[in-house]
Amino acid sequence: MSEKRVFSRPQTLKDAPFHFCPGCHHGIAHRMVAEAIDKFNLREKTIGVASVGCSVFLYDYFDVDVIEAPHGRAAAVATGVKRARKDRIVFSYQGDGDLASIGIAETVHTANRGENITIIFINNTVYGMTGGQLAPTTLLGQKTTTSPYGRDFMQDGYPIRMTEILATLEGTAFAARVAFTTPKNINMAKKAIEKAFQFQKEEMGFTFVEVLSACPTNWGLNAIDSMKRVEEEMIPYFPLGIFKERKAADVL
C-alpha cells in the first residue's frame, strides 16, 4: 500500500522553525492564518503588516511581502497599504499591548472607516516580549511583573474587550473571538479566520479576529495548564463567538 500525504506545511508558511516558547499559541495562529491565505490562493497577492512584540518576526515565517509597523500603528500602516493597493489582501497581526493599549486609536478609527483589511489580534493578557507586564487585557487579580499584587480595577481599570467594542462600529464587517482550547474551538477559529479573509476578498469592510492565546512563559505555567487557564479563566470573561457579521445586502 502506498503512503498518502494527508498533512503538510501551508504554502504561505516558510520552512523555518518558530522562535516562540513551548506552549505558546502564536504558532497555531500563524498556521491558521497561512492556511486561510492558501485556501483562497492569495499568497502572491498578500501584504502583511508586522507589529511590535513577539509577533514582529512575521516576515521570518510568512512567505509574503511584509512591512514592519511601529508599535501600535499597524492598522494605520495597513490603511496606507490598502488605499494604495486595493487589489491586494492586507492583514496585520498584533498583540494586546500593541493593539489595545498604544494602538487603540488607530485600531478603532481603522475599523470605523471600514478599511477593507483583516486584523488578527492575539490576546494573551500580558506583554510577552518585554517580560510579562500588565496589559489592557490582563484579568482582574492577575499578577504580572507590573501588577505584583494582582490587577486591581481601582488602580488599572478593567480588562478591555476589543471585539465587542469594534463590533459596535458600522465600518466593521466581521468581528469574532476564538480560542484553541478544544477541537470544536479550533474548528471555529479556523472558520472565523477564513471568513475574515473571504470578507476582505469580497470587499465587505473591516474584519477582525481576536484569538485568546496562551503565554506559558509569562504566566509561569506549563503548556497544559496554560491551555486550562484560557478555558477556565479567559473564556468566561472574554466569551467566544461571532459578534458582528455583515450580510452582503448590508453594504449594497
Under the rule (CB under 8 A), what is the footprint of another protein?
43-47, 49-50, 56, 59, 62-70, 73, 76-85, 88, 105-106, 109
Write the DSSP string, 184-203: HHHHHHHHHHHHHHHHHHTT
Alpha-carbon dihedral of residues 124, 15, 182, 167, nearest 10 degrees? 50
CA distance 214 to 245: 26
DSSP for 71-85, please give it. Answer: TT-HHHHHHHHHHH-
Q: How far is the CB of 29 from another protein (least distance, A)?
A: 19
Q: Count CA within 13 A, CB hemisphere, residue 199.
A: 32
Cell numbers standing for residue 143: 499578577
Handedness of CA 163, 181, 57, 7 (dihedral sign): negative
SS3 assignment, position 100: helix
Minimum distance from residue 199 beta carbon to another protein (Å):
19
Q: Nearest approach, Cβ of 129 to another protein (angstroms)?
A: 11
Whole-number Å distance between alpha carbons of 225 and 213: 13
Q: Closest separation between CB of residue 10 and another protein, Å?
A: 14
* CB of residue 85 to another protein, shortest distance in Å: 5
Identify which of residues 34 and 214 has a Cβ nearer to another protein in the complex: 34
